[in-house]
Amino acid sequence: MYDKFLPMTKCEMDEMGIEQFDFIYITGDAYVDHPSFGAAIVTRLIESLGYTVGIISQPDWHSDKDFRRFGAPKYAFLVTSGNIDSMVAHYTAAKRKRSDDAYTAGGMAGKRPDRAVIVYCKKLREYFGDIPIAIGGLEASLRRFAHYDYWDDAVRPSVLAESGADILMYGMGEHQIEELCTRLANGENIREIHDIRGTCYMTEPVNTPIGAAQCPSLEQVRESKREYAKATKIQYDWQDEVYGKTIIQRHGNMMLVQNPPAKSLTTEELDHIYSLPYTRRYHPSYEALGGVPGIEEVRFSITHNRGCFGYCNFCSIALHQGRRVTVRSEESVLAEAERIVQMPDFKGYIHDVGGPTANFRHTSCEKQLEKGLCMGKKCLAPTPCPALKADHKEYLAMLRKIRKVKGVKKVFIRSGIRYDYLMEDKDDEFMRELIKYHVSGQLKVAPEHCSAVVLDKMGKPHIEAYKAFQKRFYEITKGVGKEQYLVPYLMSSHPGSTLNEAIELALFLRDNKIRPEQVQDFYPTPGTISTCMFYTELDPYTMEKVYVPKTPKEKAMQRALLQYFLPKNKEIVLEALKKAGRYDLIGTSAKCLVDDPSAKNKGKGGDRSWHKKGKDHRAANARKAEKRPQKGKIRK
């Protein structure tokens, strides 16, 4: 096994005989040398190109000491907030400060600043002047255009403009960083490198490239929510690596230019990336603090693919990692399994063989390689595309070989499984082996909701797909003599969800005897289509109005309804049902969600006068519904 980390201290730098690093990499995370961490991949790749690189992890932004640790780099500073957006790392969906941070030693909160990319870059400008700075990672990638910021409740400029960096690398950055390093080493000026795919730069409007797709400007998207929605559609429509265009957006007296996306790595290139000498551990300096919690789930895991054509509206993958699926070779994955087996504390259990979506090993249809993915359409929602090719043979063959690796007792799959894609495969051999060999008692899947209205806004398949999968899962589970369960991920308060939709989901859970232990409130993270709907109350693809639950009270009601069975939620569920006029669900009968101890004259099903109120209320709603155009139906 590899045991050499990249240098983090001046002492290590001196021991290696390095007088000046070629590149200095600054990250908001603790240093973890594992390929699930972007910092590890980028720095190991730079090292493999023959350049020296030093790592400054979680610098103290209150002084210059950490930033000046190595002096100035020969070519550039490289800056990232870490594996996730720094604001998401710090705050819950309710905007409460988190008490821990999985990407910091000891799980300690507060080791990185809010808006880390901006803070780090401004400090570098203060201490090193006009030195070249390149930014990347998820925070930079998803904030590359003018974007709605949930924590400010306002539209902020591109992070490139706010940070003062010279170039922004978006998406999976291997191609970009390799070309940038080479060109800087060849003497090119970073402020004149304007043609690398997968990068953004700022320029004077007179230098704007011809033929670009133009978004409404920063000023326009701040003033008009319709213009913001239009900008979001343009940004998503032209992100395909085959037909994607340069996209521009004016910011005051400067123009933001996004070059077309970088090409996906080939299988051979991915294999090379995962063959680099990762130690697969956090840096030893964190041992006294208890290590870095974020590595625990992934240390004995294998990533076999990238990209996701699932294209959910609330997910950042489409704008960051891309919709095209690319994969590692079977040989590369097996070689990593062999390395894991040699780790001294490996107990025989590989925790995952997955990626953004575990059971994707191919593009969804044949035409994508030549023509790209269909603009504005989804491969799986609301129903699977007729051109979809669902095939698990290659993935299944690989899992079988990993199970046979000497020292491996069990191989689990904990990444998301797209059950709708799985159900399209006419051969159920994969599903049978998934249930028999790769589930540790519970299989986590993500129907997210049951209302067609909400699922359409999420970009998810309708609930019938989940019901079919659920039925088949339990049939096979029973057939192999196992006691295993589905654990559905559910989301409350997504755009499109009124109290009525939240109640509909509560009834679905009741009828299917599902009692979720955790429920996720919709979190408006930067750059997603769902965040656009949250901010504008418009669907950017139809420009229709979208209902958005925004008040803390209503969001609390919707969340509580999904756990109506918890005693602590009784009062707020009762309040929600009364507000929605669903008195028929208040009482002691099996069909009721909650009882009201203050009700008088309760019969077997609750207060009869309440049932009459509920009946009248539902009749009035039905009359209103007949006058409204129907939404949420399956589109042909």
What is the per-residue pLDDT for 316? 93
Least Cα distance to 292 among 31, 513, 50, 560 occurs for 31
Q: Write out pLDDT tens, residues 347-374.
A: 999 999 999 999 999 999 989 989 999 9
The CATH code of the domain at 300-440 is 3.30.750.210
Least Cα distance to 311 among 144, 528, 33 occurs for 528
Please state the rounded mean pLDDT for residues 28-36.
97
Least Cα distance to 322 among 260, 237, 264, 244 occurs for 264
Strand ranges for 264-314 from DSSP E: 281-282, 301-303, 305-306
Structure tokens at 345: 């504390």
What is the per-residue pLDDT for 633? 34
Residue 413 has pLDDT above 80, yes or no: yes
User: What are the boundaries of each domain within the chain?
Assistant: 10-200, 300-440
What is the per-residue pLDDT for 606? 46
Write the DSSP symbol of residue 395. H
Tell me phi and psi for residue 155, to 5 degrees: -90, 125
Q: Write out pLDDT tens, residues 150-179.
A: 999 999 999 999 999 999 999 999 999 999
596 pLDDT tier (thresholds 50, 70, 90): confident
- Helix 174-185 and helix 38-48, axial crossing angle in degrees, nearest 10: 40
Share of the chain above pLDDT 70, in %: 94
Least confident range of 442-446, 527-531, 603-607: 603-607
What is the per-residue pLDDT for 621? 55
Residue 524 has pLDDT above 80, yes or no: yes
Please state the rounded mean pLDDT for residues 372-386.
96
Contacts of 508 (CB under 8 A, 6+ apart): 450, 463, 514
Q: Write out pLDDT tens, residues 476-508.
A: 999 999 999 999 999 999 999 999 999 999 999
Measured CA to CA, the distance from residue 623 to residue 286 in angstroms comes to 64
What is the per-residue pLDDT for 597? 80
Share of the chain above pLDDT 90, in %: 91
Cβ atoms of 103 and 292 within 8 Å: the answer is yes
623 pLDDT tier (thresholds 50, 70, 90): low
Q: Write out pLDDT tens, residues 454-480.
A: 999 999 999 999 999 999 999 999 999
Per DSSP, the residues of 8-61 read -SHHHHHHTT-SS-SEEEEESS--EESTTSHHHHHHHHHHHTT--EEEEES--T
Measured CA to CA, the distance from residue 531 to residue 320 in angstroms comes to 15
Please state the rounded mean pLDDT for residues 324-346.
97
Residue 608 has pLDDT above 60, yes or no: no
Contacts of 202 (CB under 8 A, 6+ apart): 158, 160, 161, 251, 254, 255, 256, 257
Residue 101 has pLDDT above 80, yes or no: yes
Looking at per-residue pLDDT, the higher value among 623 and 205 belongs to 205
Please state the rounded mean pLDDT for residues 514-535.
95
What is the per-residue pLDDT for 506? 98
Looking at per-residue pLDDT, the higher value among 528 and 614 belongs to 528
For Cα atoms 266, 272, 278, give the angle at the middle one, nearest 5 degrees.
140
The CATH code of the domain at 10-200 is 3.40.50.280
Residue 607 has pLDDT above 50, yes or no: no
Measured CA to CA, the distance from residue 486 to residue 422 in angstroms comes to 15
Structure tokens at 547: 């209902």
CA R_g for the chain: 26
Residue 556 has pLDDT above 70, yes or no: yes
Residue 619 has pLDDT above 80, yes or no: no
Structure tokens at 119: 């803070």
Q: Please tell me the chain's helix, strand, coil percentages from 3-state DSSP, rounded to the nearest 5.
A: 40, 15, 50
Count H helices, E strands: the chain?
Answer: 23, 24
What is the per-residue pLDDT for 604? 42
Residue 626 has pLDDT above 60, yes or no: no
Residue 609 has pLDDT above 70, yes or no: no
Strand, helix or coil at 148?
strand
Residue 380 has pLDDT above 50, yes or no: yes
Q: Is the pTM of this model over 0.75?
A: yes
Mean pLDDT of the chain: 93
Please state the rounded mean pLDDT for residues 298-311.
96
Measured CA to CA, the distance from residue 146 to residue 482 in angstroms comes to 51
Residue 231 has pLDDT above 80, yes or no: yes
What is the per-residue pLDDT for 263? 97
Q: Which residues pair with 27 in a beta bridge?
A: 57, 80
